[in-house]
Structure 1
């Protein structure tokens, strides 16, 4: 579906069409002005993006976030990406959602928890650091 939008073969309210990607309005927005930014090639998750393409892609996301704020008079934006779990379309996409104080959106879209104790938090951090090495 997103590949067709990128190719111009499917209708979309496009807000940016650049070499790094295409940005268009979500057809089921959280709030009006909710934009999806997708890379041009069909990539499913963030880890599929070649390192050389990350900068240009996220520069586009950054510019879209600024444009959503200034263009809509939003107080800020919520920028999010799902990878596989809760990813409704299997094509990498970044949500840029306009926010205003008192808009009713509370925190993230999922329940928040706490670590059972500081040791559990440190162990989790260590596992991630190890995976980054």
Structure 2
């Protein structure tokens, strides 16, 4: 498999980790869009949100639990943060391994609807 996030999970590509357990890994984004920009991924390869199976919902819950813990540890839980998952090309997904962006550290503007 030629997935960059799977390679980060296996350790063949380095990352600046902020959280890790048996099922979830989180690390700083190399091109941050906010002062705090952390990627949170399940270690299991799931390409998109559309590929989440019923047996994976517990894993997705663990990702969200990790996001909550990371926000507290980064000191942004109280001031606020944005947790984003992009799905497929029109949703802005670039890496096809499900992941969440935790963005914080400044006042984030509203998402513009057209």
TM-score (norm 2): 0.79
Of structures 1 and 2, the larger Rg is shown by 1
Distance 2:85 2:15 in 1: 20
Instruction: State yes or no: 1:56 paired with 2:59.
Output: yes
Q: Which has the higher contact order (CA 8 A, sep 6+)?
A: 2
Q: Does 1:77 align with 2:81?
A: yes
Distance in 1 separating the partners of 2:39 and 2:100: 6
SS in 1 for 2:83: strand
User: How many pairs align?
Assistant: 107
Cα distance 1:31–1:65, how it changes in 2: closer, same or farther (>3 A)?
Answer: farther
Kindly report the root-mean-square deviation, in angstroms, between the aligned alpha carbons of the 2 structures. Answer: 1.8
What stretches of structure 1 move > 6 A for 4+ residues in a row?
none
Q: Quote the residue 2:99 is aligned against.
A: 93
Structure (1/2) with the larger helix percentage:
1
Query: Structure 1 length as normaliser, TM-score?
Result: 0.69
Greater displacement, 48-57 / 70-79 = 48-57
Where does residue 5 of structure 2 map in the other structure?
2
SS in 1 for 2:20: strand
1:41 is matched with 44
Q: 1:37 & 1:14 partners in 2: Cα distance?
A: 10
User: Residue 112 of structure 1 corresponds to which residue in structure 2?
Assistant: 113
